[in-house]
Chains A and B, each alone.
Chain A
Amino acid sequence: MLREGVAALMVLAVLVGLPLAVLRYEKAFASRFTATIWARTAERGGFQPSEIRVRQGERVRLRIIGDDVVHGLLIPELGIAVKEIKPGEETILEFVPEKPGEFLFFCSVLCSPLHGRMNGRLIVEPGT
C-alpha cells in the first residue's frame, strides 16, 4: 500500500497541486503590476476591467494582454498612446499620472464592427 500511497501523492501533485501552483504563481506575478487589462473586441467584452483606479503621483504599471486581434490604447488627456497590442502578447505600460480626474481610454486600432465601444475609464484619485 506504500506504493499506492506514493502514486496517489504523485497524482494529487499533478492534478491538484500543479493547477494550484499556476494560480499562485500568476497571483505573485500579477502583483508586480498595478492592474492587468485584457484587450478583447467589444463583442467579447472590450477592455477588462474597463475601470482602473490609480493614485496621482504614484507610478502605474499596467499589463495589457491582447486576446484576439491587434488593438491599441489611447488616453489623449494624459498623452498616452500604445500603438499596438498584439494578440497573445503582453504590453507593459508605465507612467506617473500627474493630475487627478477621470480619463477615457479607448482602442486606437479599428479592430471589429463594434470598435467604437471598446473603451474604459482611468480614475486618478488625488494624491495624499
Chain B
Amino acid sequence: MSITHDEREDGVSKPRPAQRPASVSPTGNLDMSRERFLKVIPADWRFEITRPGPVRSLLKSRWFNFTLFIVNWAAFALILMSGVYGTAVGNHSIGIVFVWILWWSLLMFLLLPFTARFWCGMCPLPTVGEWLQRLRFVGKNPGGGLGLNAKWPKRLRTMWIANAAFLTVGIFSGVITTRPLATTVMLGGIILLAVVLHAVFEKRTFCRYLCPVGGFLGLYSNFSAMEIRRKDFEDCRTHRTKECFAGSEKGYGCPWLEVPMNLERNTYCGFCFECMRSCSKDNMSIRLRPFGTDLLVDRHRELGESWKAFIMLGAAGMYSATMMGPWGTVKKWANLSSFAGVPDFLKFVALFIGVTAIGLPLVHALASHLSRRLALRHDPGVEDPGFRKTFLNFSYALVPLGLMAWVAFSFAIVLPSGSYVLPVFSDPFGLGWNLFGTAHIPWTPVGTGIMAYLQVPTVLFGLAYAIDVAWKLARQTFVSRGAAAVAAVPQVVYLGLVSVGLLWLFVG
C-alpha cells in the first residue's frame, strides 16, 4: 500500500492508499531530467542542506522555531507598542521602519527568493493562537489542546480569501506604511483574527487560507530555491503510520494540512519542520534547487493562484506609480489623510482593483486566447487544452516577473530609506533615547545613484525567467513543440510589454 495525494478537489491533501507508478511525473510531459532553466541550470539539480548532522539536529529541535518566535516577538512587542506609544512620525518609529523597510527588504531580497516560506516558520502573528490550540509552547502535547478543531469549509479551500485580504491591506498601504497606529491596528487585527481562527478551526487554517501575507508567500515560494521534500519514496510507500501527516510523539502532523511525504509544490509548506521531527524514518530533507521548479508542476494549479499572480504583479506597478511616480494626485488619493479624502480614496481603490484584479487578467486572457488559437491553427492535430487550462497554466509564468518586480521596487525602498533603521535601533519610539549610540546617525541615502543599474537587470532577469517558464508551460500545455512555439509568442510579447511598463515606472 502506498500513500499519495488525493486530487485535491476540496483543496486539502489527505493521505490515501494508492498505486503511484514512479513514471508518473508531476510535471506531466516535461521530463525534468532533460529540462534546463535559462538553458543553463539543470531543472532536477538538488543539494540537500540537511545532510550534516548538526544542521539536521538543529532544525529538528523543538526549540528551533520557538527561539525564532521569541526573537521576532521581541521586535513585534515593540512594533505593536509603537502605534500607541511614542512618535507618530513614521520614519522615526520602529513600527514603520522595522516592518516596512527592514522586514519587507529581508523578505523580498533574501527570505522569499532563497528560503521559500521560512518566514512562516518564524512569524509571530499566529503563535498565540497556536500556543492556545496546543496548550504547549515548545513540546508536543500528547492530548488535545484548546479549540474546536473544526474543518475549514470545502468551498473556501482556495487562495481567493487571501487574495481579498491582500487587496484590502494593499489599498490601505498608503496609510498603513506611513502611520505607526495603522500598522499596529493591522498587525493587532491579524493576531486577534488568528487567535479566533485557531480556536475554531484546526491547525494552521488561518495561515493557509486567510493570511494576507501568506497568500503571496505561498505563490512566490514556488519560485524559491529551497524545498522540503521526502528523500526516498519507497521509505514512505512502505511506512504505514503516515507520521508526517498524523504526527508522532516527537512532532505534530503537518500543521499546514499537507501530506509532507507527497509534497510537490511549496505553496502550502510553512517550513515549520514538524514533518522532519515526526518522521521516525528521518526521511524528510531540505534541499536547494533551481529557481522556479514548482512553477512547472502541473497539479494543484488553481485560478485563485492565477489571480494572486495578477494582483501581485499589478500591485508592484501600482505601488511604483503611487509612491515613486510623478502622479502626486494618485498619491494624494491613496493617502486618506482625513474623512474628507474618502471620495478620492475610493478613486484609488477603483484604480488599484481595476489594474490588479481586472485589467491585468483581461490582458492575460487575451494573450492566452491568442496562444491557444495560434497553437490549434498551427497544429490542428494537437489536443485542445481548452481556454481555462491555457489561461491557468500561463499565469504561472508571471511569478518570476512579479517577484523580480517586487525586488526591483524594494530597491527603491531600501536604498533611500534603509538608513532609518540604525537610528531607530537606538530610539525605537522617537523619544530621544540613544540605547546603542546610533540615534543620531543622519538619514543617508545609499546607492541611489546606481539604483537604476540594479532595477533594470532585476526586471530583465525576471523577464528572461518568465519567458523561459512560459516556453516550458507552452510545451506542457500543447505537447507538440511546433504548437508550443507559436503559443509562446503572444506570451512573450505580453510579458515583454509588461516589463517595458515596469521599467518605465522604475527608471523612465
Binding site for B on A (CB under 8 A): 3-4, 7-8, 10-11, 14-15, 18-19, 22, 25-26, 29, 63, 65-68, 87-90, 92
* Chain B nearest CB, measured from A63 CB (Å): 6
**15 cross-chain CB contacts under 8 A:** A7-B138, A10-B137, A11-B70, A11-B73, A11-B131, A14-B70, A18-B77, A19-B78, A29-B433, A65-B430, A65-B431, A65-B432, A66-B89, A87-B92, A88-B93
Whether B89 contacts A67 by the Cβ 8 Å rule is yes
Question: Cβ of B490 < 8 Å from any Cβ of A?
Answer: no
Given A29-B431, A65-B430, decide whether A3 and B89 contact each other with a Cβ distance below 8 A.
Answer: no
Interface residues of chain B: helix, strand, loop or mixed (majority): loop
Whether A90 contacts B431 by the Cβ 8 Å rule is yes
Q: Give Cα A89–Cα B333 distance, bound, in whole angstroms.
A: 28
B432 to chain A: which residues have CB within 8 Å? 29, 63, 65, 90, 92
The 8 Å CB contact of B430, one of A18, A19, A88, is: A88
> Which residue from chain A places its CB closest to the CB of B67 in the assembled complex?
A10
Binding site for A on B (CB under 8 A): 66, 70, 73-74, 77-78, 81, 85, 87-89, 91-93, 131, 136-139, 429-433
Whether B138 contacts A4 by the Cβ 8 Å rule is yes
Q: Give Cα A7–Cα B140 distance, bound, in whole angstroms.
A: 13
Whether B91 contacts A88 by the Cβ 8 Å rule is yes
> Which residue from chain B places its CB closest to the CB of A32 in the assembled complex?
B432
> Which residue from chain B places its CB closest to the CB of A33 in the assembled complex?
B432
Q: Give Cα A89–Cα B86 distance, bound, in whole angstroms.
A: 11
> Which residue from chain B places its CB closest to the CB of A63 in the assembled complex?
B432
Whether B138 contacts A89 by the Cβ 8 Å rule is no
Q: Give Cα A22–Cα B429 distance, bound, in whole angstroms.
A: 10
Q: Closest 4 CB pairs between A and B?
A: A88-B92, A88-B89, A90-B432, A7-B137
A22 to chain B: which residues have CB within 8 Å? 78, 81, 85, 429
* Chain B nearest CB, measured from A120 CB (Å): 19
* Chain B nearest CB, measured from A30 CB (Å): 8
Given A8-B137, A18-B77, decide whether A67 and B88 contact each other with a Cβ distance below 8 A.
Answer: yes
Whether B139 contacts A3 by the Cβ 8 Å rule is yes
B89 to chain A: which residues have CB within 8 Å? 66-68, 87-88
* Chain B nearest CB, measured from A64 CB (Å): 10
* Chain A nearest CB, measured from B436 CB (Å): 13
A90 to chain B: which residues have CB within 8 Å? 430-432
Q: Give Cα A87–Cα B93 distance, bound, in whole angstroms.
A: 11
A26 to chain B: which residues have CB within 8 Å? 429, 431, 433
Whether A4 contacts B73 by the Cβ 8 Å rule is no
Q: Give Cα A15–Cα B74 distance, bound, in whole angstroms.
A: 7
Whether B433 contacts A18 by the Cβ 8 Å rule is no
Q: Give Cα A4–Cα B139 distance, bound, in whole angstroms.
A: 7
Given A4-B139, A68-B89, A88-B89, decide whether A15 and B73 contact each other with a Cβ distance below 8 A.
Answer: yes
A87 to chain B: which residues have CB within 8 Å? 89, 92
* Chain A nearest CB, measured from B63 CB (Å): 8
* Chain B nearest CB, measured from A73 CB (Å): 16
* Chain B nearest CB, measured from A57 CB (Å): 26
8 further A-B contacts with Cβ under 8 Å, apart from A3-B139, A88-B430, are A10-B137, A11-B131, A11-B137, A18-B74, A26-B431, A68-B88, A87-B92, A88-B92
Given A4-B139, A29-B432, decide whether A18 and B78 contact each other with a Cβ distance below 8 A.
Answer: yes
Whether B70 contacts A19 by the Cβ 8 Å rule is no
Given A26-B431, A66-B89, A90-B432, decide whether A3 and B78 contact each other with a Cβ distance below 8 A.
Answer: no
Whether B430 contacts A14 by the Cβ 8 Å rule is no
Given A29-B431, A88-B430, decide whether A7 and B91 contact each other with a Cβ distance below 8 A.
Answer: no
Given A22-B429, A67-B88, A89-B92, decide whether A15 and B137 contact each other with a Cβ distance below 8 A.
Answer: no
Given A4-B136, A67-B89, decide whether A15 and B431 contact each other with a Cβ distance below 8 A.
Answer: no
Interface centre among A11, A19, A68 (most CB of B within 10 A): A11
Q: Give Cα A90–Cα B432 distance, bound, in whole angstroms.
A: 6
A19 to chain B: which residues have CB within 8 Å? 77-78, 81
Interface centre among A19, A68, A88 (most CB of B within 10 A): A88
Whether B70 contacts A10 by the Cβ 8 Å rule is yes
B70 to chain A: which residues have CB within 8 Å? 10-11, 14
B77 to chain A: which residues have CB within 8 Å? 14-15, 18-19
A68 to chain B: which residues have CB within 8 Å? 88-89
Q: Give Cα A63–Cα B139 distance, bound, in whole angstroms.
A: 48
Whether B87 contacts A25 by the Cβ 8 Å rule is no
* Chain A nearest CB, measured from B169 CB (Å): 24
Given A63-B432, A87-B89, A88-B430, decide whether A7 and B73 contact each other with a Cβ distance below 8 A.
Answer: no
Q: Give Cα A10–Cα B131 distance, bound, in whole angstroms.
A: 13
B78 to chain A: which residues have CB within 8 Å? 18-19, 22
A67 to chain B: which residues have CB within 8 Å? 87-89
B138 to chain A: which residues have CB within 8 Å? 3-4, 7
Q: Give Cα A68–Cα B81 distance, bound, in whole angstroms.
A: 18
Whether A14 contacts B87 by the Cβ 8 Å rule is no
Whether B137 contacts A25 by the Cβ 8 Å rule is no
A4 to chain B: which residues have CB within 8 Å? 136-139
A15 to chain B: which residues have CB within 8 Å? 73, 77
